[in-house]
Chain A
Amino acid sequence: MSETRTLHGIGIGRQLAVGPVLRMPDPLPAPSDTVSELTAAEETERVNVSLAAVAADLMARGERAGGTARDVLEAQAMMAQDPTLKASIADLLAKGKTAEMAVWTAFGGFRDMLIGLGGYMAERATDLDDVSGRVLAHLQGVPAPGVPDSETPFVLVARDLAPADTALLNLDKVMALVTSDGGPTAHTAILARDKAIVAVVGVAGAQELADGTTVIVDASTGIVTANPDRASVARAEDARDARRSAAAAPITDGALADGTAVPLLANLGSAGGIQAALAAGAEGVGLFRTEFLFLDATSAPTVVEQREKYRELLAAFPGRKVVVRLLDAGADKPLAFLNSAREENPALGVRGLRALRANEDILREQLTALAEADGDTESDLWVMAPMVATVEETRYFTALAHELGLRTVGVMVEVPSAAIGAANILQHAAFASIGTNDLTQYTMAADRMLGSVSNLQDPWHPSVLHLVKMVGDAGADLGKPVGICGEAAADPLLAVVLVGLGATTLSMSPAALADVRAELRGHTREEARALALVALAADDAADARTAVRAAINNRTPHTTQKEEHSS
């Protein structure tokens, strides 16, 4: 048996998995354009064998998948046997190209043609690329690129996952995700949180894990243990089962170990998520994004159209708090009717409340629709403006919302100036809700969309936490609630730290609620405050994480035995 190795990364959630590694092959490099050493007839034979094998494999996968996946896979099988494509490959082979080069060039030509057609056709280019990659892999006798296919469950190890890969993930088979790249706010991490997949991202050395290696993936510690001994596997399996039952424990309202209430709310992007949120025990909605009403529209939806959508949302949460964020658009999320010229720095431009203010009729209509829906339903509607930077903006927004009949009006804190000025801003707002993704982006000057600075895009960074504390302190002084509605609240350990910094509610994707609920139960308010101080004193995000974990491990055992809570 190989030597036990321990790899470190950033865990998503607090669950654990044990299983065999299956690596996601790296994309194949473009073949080199050398003159073939085989005859054209021999190369043709190679191509035909590979095309037929790939087509047969795709058809077989279609049979197994059924449904709409079958239609896609069968269409891909037809592409592999396409006579026009074969003719194009034959032309290239006749010119002395290798089978690899001919396949790559011919598929590439059709791919470019599809992209040129735009729209639906351009989306099919991905399907064609997938077929091309499979044929090239078959020609070279290497595994096909993309998410591997396995009959038995496995731990997927990848550099990172593209959105197209994650759409194809079979959650019955993927026990856990381990990536070498990507940070806690990258696409893969967000997906893992959303689907409640055990994941550890940013694991140095993950690429050296071989297929079939047994690994323990512990998201709560961010540790991946390769080739564990039998006793460790048994302990891990016990811990896994205990945590699963803790996550499946009867739903209670969010609270700390000493009974301090910390309401746990859901982030929703449309009315479609309401049932999942209720099933996961959401005590209300902490962030309802309204962009979905506007994104596909060429003109702003009418007051009546909006009111119906809001009414549907509010009716699902009678007696509960529902926080609705006004349209958050700008040059980074362009809308046909609300734009705003192209900007060099969209994140620093006319977005959020700035864009709404420039289109006050849209803002007024949205507030009017919300006030009307509120009047018809029993829920407790709160509204907030995105991207507020100043006291003046706060006063503008709260005055307008009150004028249009809304009672509880607050602001999002995403810009460092709003956090630093929270004591003044909260004089005029009923509450603050901290958007940690943007707050981290602006504090660290690290573009959320740019993978090369993802190491800075970490809400555990003490500078970000200091800003959260400023808002928490201001809220406590003025008796105003301070919520968290970014990805940070979905990280169970960070959620405890945020409560220690003064957050009074936490809002997250519904899939994260169970883990956060279980973690909060393991800490008293005093302990959460002590952990917050530990995190604030750290040098950087990784240091903060490690220090907080160490502080918990060094504590007297009464609250560290979270595993036992369920039994």
Chain B
Amino acid sequence: MAEKTVTILSQQGLHARPASLFAQTAAASGAEVTIAKPGGAPVNAASILGVISLGLGHGDEVTVSVTGANEDVVLADLVTLLETDHDA
């Protein structure tokens, strides 16, 4: 399992388009991906409803965990998405 804790840099948090992109990427990876708030239960990152239900805002910390083939590459891609300001 590959895991990393990152800060969300998108101005509008992980809603709307950033959330769609993140869930799409997680689903397309074929790996098992979860995302969790510190101390919170992990949710399926391929679920857009699961992701937006976390209500993640700009500056929030999250932990992304990936299990499966190419887990390090998948994790790096997802982390890049979270650390990109999609409105910039």
**Beta-carbon nearest neighbor of B24 in chain A:** A78
Of B16, B46, B49, B55, the contact of A79 (CB 8 Å cutoff): B49
Query: Once the chains bind, are B49 and A82 in contact (CB under 8 Å)?
Result: yes
Query: Once the chains bind, are B52 and A82 in contact (CB under 8 Å)?
Result: no
Number of contacting residues on B, CB 8 A? 19
Query: Once the chains bind, are A110 and B20 in contact (CB under 8 Å)?
Result: no
The yes or no answer to B48 lying at the interface (CB within 8 A) is: yes
Flag B33-50 by CB within 8 Å of A: 1 or 0 each: 000000000011011111
Query: Once the chains bind, are A121 and B49 in contact (CB under 8 Å)?
Result: no
Q: A75-B16, A78-B23 are in contact. Are A83 and B46 (CB under 8 A)?
A: yes
Flag B1-42 by CB within 8 Å of A: 1 or 0 each: 000000000001001110110011001000000000000000
Query: Once the chains bind, are A85 and B53 in contact (CB under 8 Å)?
Result: no
Query: Once the chains bind, are A83 and B47 in contact (CB under 8 Å)?
Result: yes
Query: Once the chains bind, are A121 and B50 in contact (CB under 8 Å)?
Result: no
Q: Which residues of B contact A124 (CB under 8 A)?
A: 15-16, 52
Cβ distance A79 to chain B, nearest Cβ, rounded Å = 6
- Interface 9-mer from A112-120, A135-143, A304-312, A424-432: A112-120
Q: Which residues of B contact A117 (CB under 8 A)?
A: 52-53, 55
Query: Once the chains bind, are A110 and B15 in contact (CB under 8 Å)?
Result: no
Flag A82-116 by CB within 8 Å of B: 1 or 0 each: 11110000000000000000000000001001100
Q: Which of B12, B46, B52 has the most CB of A within 10 A?
A: B52
Query: Once the chains bind, are B16 and A113 in contact (CB under 8 Å)?
Result: no
Count A/B pairs, Cβ under 8 Å: 49
Q: A78-B48, A83-B44, A84-B43 are in contact. Are A120 and B53 (CB under 8 A)?
A: no
Interface majority SS on B: helix, strand, loop or mixed? helix
Query: Once the chains bind, are B49 and A85 in contact (CB under 8 Å)?
Result: yes
Q: Which residues of B contact A403 (CB under 8 A)?
A: none
A124 to B19 alpha-carbon distance, docked (Å): 12
A113 to B50 alpha-carbon distance, docked (Å): 10
Of A74, A83, A120, the contact of B15 (CB 8 Å cutoff): A120
Query: Once the chains bind, are B44 and A84 in contact (CB under 8 Å)?
Result: yes
Q: Which residues of B contact A75 (CB under 8 A)?
A: 16-17, 19-20, 48
Query: Once the chains bind, are B48 and A71 in contact (CB under 8 Å)?
Result: no
Cβ distance A212 to chain B, nearest Cβ, rounded Å = 37
Q: A83-B44, A83-B46, A84-B47 are in contact. Are A114 and B53 (CB under 8 A)?
A: yes
Cβ distance A56 to chain B, nearest Cβ, rounded Å = 16
Cβ distance B52 to chain A, nearest Cβ, rounded Å = 6
Cβ distance A554 to chain B, nearest Cβ, rounded Å = 59
Q: Which residues of B contact A113 (CB under 8 A)?
A: 53
**Beta-carbon nearest neighbor of B12 in chain A:** A120
Of B17, B19, B49, the contact of A110 (CB 8 Å cutoff): B49
Cβ distance B25 to chain A, nearest Cβ, rounded Å = 12
Query: Once the chains bind, are A84 and B49 in contact (CB under 8 Å)?
Result: yes
Q: Which residues of B contact A110 (CB under 8 A)?
A: 49, 53
Cβ distance A488 to chain B, nearest Cβ, rounded Å = 40
Query: Once the chains bind, are B15 and A121 in contact (CB under 8 Å)?
Result: yes
Query: Once the chains bind, are B16 and A120 in contact (CB under 8 Å)?
Result: yes
Query: Once the chains bind, are A82 and B17 in contact (CB under 8 Å)?
Result: no
Cβ distance B49 to chain A, nearest Cβ, rounded Å = 5
A78 to B16 alpha-carbon distance, docked (Å): 12
Q: Which residues of A contact B55 (CB under 8 A)?
A: 117, 121
Q: Which of A74, A82, A128 has the most CB of B within 10 A?
A: A82
Query: Once the chains bind, are B20 and A71 in contact (CB under 8 Å)?
Result: yes
Of B12, B15, B24, B50, the contact of A84 (CB 8 Å cutoff): B50
**Beta-carbon nearest neighbor of B54 in chain A:** A117
A85 to B27 alpha-carbon distance, docked (Å): 14
Q: Which residues of A contact B20 (CB under 8 A)?
A: 71, 74-75, 78
Q: Which residues of A contact B49 (CB under 8 A)?
A: 79, 82, 84-85, 110, 128
Q: Which residues of B contact A79 (CB under 8 A)?
A: 48-49
Q: Which residues of A contact B48 (CB under 8 A)?
A: 75, 78-79, 82
Q: Which residues of A contact B52 (CB under 8 A)?
A: 114, 117, 121, 124
Flag A185-204 by CB within 8 Å of B: 1 or 0 each: 00000000000000000000
A542 to B56 alpha-carbon distance, docked (Å): 54
A121 to B44 alpha-carbon distance, docked (Å): 18
A83 to B12 alpha-carbon distance, docked (Å): 24
Q: Which residues of A contact B47 (CB under 8 A)?
A: 82-85
Cβ distance B62 to chain A, nearest Cβ, rounded Å = 16
**Beta-carbon nearest neighbor of A75 in chain B:** B20
**Beta-carbon nearest neighbor of B20 in chain A:** A75
**Beta-carbon nearest neighbor of A72 in chain B:** B16
Q: Which residues of B contact A128 (CB under 8 A)?
A: 49
**Beta-carbon nearest neighbor of B50 in chain A:** A84
Q: Which residues of B contact A83 (CB under 8 A)?
A: 27, 44, 46-47, 50
A124 to B50 alpha-carbon distance, docked (Å): 13
A128 to B53 alpha-carbon distance, docked (Å): 13
**Beta-carbon nearest neighbor of A113 in chain B:** B53
Q: Which of B19, B46, B48 has the most CB of A within 10 A?
A: B48
Q: Which of A75, A117, A128 has the most CB of B within 10 A?
A: A75
Q: List 15 extra interface pairs beyond A83-B47, A84-B47, A117-B55, CB under 8 A.
A: A74-B20, A75-B16, A75-B19, A78-B23, A82-B48, A82-B50, A84-B43, A84-B49, A84-B50, A110-B49, A110-B53, A114-B53, A117-B52, A121-B15, A121-B52
5 A–B contacts, CB within 8 A, in A order: A71-B20, A75-B16, A114-B52, A117-B53, A124-B16
A-B pairs, top 5 by smallest CB distance, nearest first, are A84-B47, A84-B50, A78-B48, A75-B20, A117-B55
